């Protein structure tokens, strides 16, 4: 009996609704919709992710395989979460989506363009309603762009734009500029979330009284074993140096590296430090489901992301994953001196700004990580911009060998060395000791 055949047709239909209509479920919804929720979790057809409004369940790659017979061509993870947030906000107020057959609603939907706004019946009449929970909610610039685009139509046709956001203050000042037709409503519809300084947050803290996960106080592995693994090309030299240290020193190195990299994935914690979650009392983290390769939804990584500062949790998961990739490049390059490595955490990068700068002796090197989102034109613009800034060299990092080969073709020799293939999601190259 295959794993998929253990789910009934009715359960598969319910999971289909989850994916196409609901987006994600709260734990209460999951229990109500799936009588055999325990079996679904055992089979791995659902993925749990901690969000600003509490935990949500998404359909996993195994779930898509069970329901649709394929893991490919999946919807955006952030879009699924935001769809669930919108649905829960509407249920909170008792509002309903307008019928697709309603010509007025269809006309309003056309005004929204590609933005995720939907015609909704509200007490004030038909309105365009949107919701964003990921990235902390609607940013001021997004509100401005939306307001400028819809101001004329909203005033002329007398409809309102209503936006839901989980944070009470984010974007409110900007929304006031469009108060004649726009309302920004802060709402956590589930009522299940963590509040710090009166603001919802998905940040968690490793308990200070956590029992260390590693029992041995000495090195994670012996030097001869590490040398043999290095010789096979499976371990950066700086990682081997860390794994040969006593546990207390490995923890210290992790904390120092977290200050350099800004974000470290739990997979990297295990691979590069030989530590576990409970070895890090007091460290902030978020839970995330990540797709390391663009256009490849078959690989999803559920992991914790450890943060140098709690403010980094305001970034979306893709931006945090980007920083993880840059940190993996640093290890592959063997950079351990914080004075030589500066990472950018800017919300928006200008074309001429690399992800990190490596001061390699007298040479300044641009570091750029690319999960596949950069088109050929943008890659060439970046290379030209880095060169015009006086960068001696650009080192590119990618998550797959296919992307590396494509970049070498597109850049036609302008990259002086092949891109580094960073598989940061691999949690260990060592057997348990």
Q: How far is CA 394 from the centre of its chain?
A: 25
pLDDT (tens place) for every residue of the chain, 433 residues total: 354 458 999 999 999 999 999 999 999 999 999 999 999 999 999 999 888 888 999 999 999 999 999 888 788 888 999 999 999 999 999 999 998 888 888 888 887 766 679 999 999 899 999 999 988 889 899 999 999 999 999 988 899 999 999 988 888 999 999 999 999 999 988 755 554 545 677 888 999 876 766 556 777 777 777 777 776 666 788 988 999 999 999 999 999 999 999 999 999 999 899 999 999 999 999 999 898 887 667 788 889 999 999 989 888 888 999 999 999 999 999 999 999 999 998 867 777 889 999 999 999 999 999 887 788 888 889 899 998 888 999 999 999 888 888 888 888 778 888 999 998 998 665 544 3
Angle at 166 between CA 163 and CA 169, to 5 degrees: 85
Query: Would you identify the CATH topology of the domain 4-75?
Result: Arc Repressor Mutant, subunit A (1.10.10)
**Helix, strand, coil percent values for the chain (each to nearest 5):** 40, 20, 40
Which of 100, 106, 105, 54 minimizes the C-alpha distance to 81? Answer: 54
Whether residue 421 contacts residue 332, with contact meaning beta carbons closer than 8 Å, is answered with no
- CA torsion 224-228-234-235 (nearest 10°) is 30
Q: For residue 367, which phi and psi values (nearest 5 degrees)?
A: -115, 125
State the SS3 of 19-47.
Answer: HHHHCCECHHHHHHHCCCHHHHHHHCCEE
Cα-atom radius of gyration of the chain, to the nearest Å? 24
List every span in the chain annotated with CATH 3.40.1560: 87-201
The three-state secondary structure class of 185 is strand
Six token digits for residue 65: 């395989």
Give how far the C-alpha of residue 69 lies from the chain's centroid of Cα atoms, to the nearest Å: 26
Q: How far is CA 147 from the centre of its chain?
A: 27
Q: Is the pTM for the entire model greater than 0.75? A: yes
CATH of domain 87-201: 3.40.1560
CATH 1.10.10 boundaries in the chain: 4-75
């Amino acid at each position: 009996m295959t794993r998929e055949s253990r789910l009934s047709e009715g359960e598969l239909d319910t999971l289909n609704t989850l994916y196409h209509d609901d987006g994600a479920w709260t734990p209460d919804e999951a229990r109500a919709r799936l009588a055999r929720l325990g079996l679904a979790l055992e089979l791995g057809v659902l993925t749990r992710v901690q969000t600003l409004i509490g935990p949500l369940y998404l359909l996993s790659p195994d779930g898509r395989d069970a329901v649709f017979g394929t893991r490919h061509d999946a919807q955006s993870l952030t879009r699924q979460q935001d769809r669930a947030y919108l649905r829960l906000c509407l249920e909170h107020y008792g509002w309903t989506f307008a019928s697709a057959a309603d010509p007025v609603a269809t006309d309003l939907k056309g005004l929204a363009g590609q933005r995720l706004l939907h015609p909704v019946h509200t007490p004030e009449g038909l309105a365009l309603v949107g919701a964003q929970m990921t990235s902390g909610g609607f940013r001021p610039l997004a509100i401005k762009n939306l307001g400028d685009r819809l101001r004329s139509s909203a005033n002329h046709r007398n409809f309102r734009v209503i936006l839901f956001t989980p944070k009470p203050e984010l974007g409110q000042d900007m929304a006031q500029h469009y108060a004649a037709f726009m309302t920004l409503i802060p709402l956590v519809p589930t009522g299940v979330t963590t509040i710090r300084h009166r603001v919802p947050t998905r940040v968690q803290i490793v308990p200070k009284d956590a029992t260390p996960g590693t029992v041995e106080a000495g090195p994670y592995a012996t030097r001869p074993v590490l040398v043999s693994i290095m010789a096979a090309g499976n371990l950066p030299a700086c990682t081997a140096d860390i794994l040969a240290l006593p546990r207390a020193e490995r923890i210290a190195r992790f904390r120092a590296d977290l200050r350099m990299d800004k974000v470290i994935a739990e997979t990297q914690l295990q691979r590069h430090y030989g530590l576990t979650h409970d070895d890090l009392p007091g460290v902030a983290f978020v839970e995330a489901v990540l797709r390391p390769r663009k256009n490849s939804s078959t690989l999803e990584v559920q992991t914790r992301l450890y943060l140098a500062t709690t403010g980094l949790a305001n970034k979306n998961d893709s931006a945090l994953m980007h920083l993880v990739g840059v940190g993996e490049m640093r290890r592959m390059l063997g950079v351990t001196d914080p004075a030589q490595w500066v990472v950018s955490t800017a919300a928006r990068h200008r074309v001429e700004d690399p992800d990190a700068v490596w001061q390699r002796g007298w040479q300044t090197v641009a570091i750029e990580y690319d999960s596949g989102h950069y088109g050929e034109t943008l890659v060439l613009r970046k290379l030209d911009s880095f060169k015009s800034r006086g960068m001696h060299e650009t080192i590119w990092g990618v998550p797959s060998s296919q992307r590396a080969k494509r970049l070498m073709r597109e850049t036609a020799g302008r990259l002086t060395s092949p891109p580094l293939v960073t598989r940061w999601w691999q949690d260990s190259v060592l057997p348990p000791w």
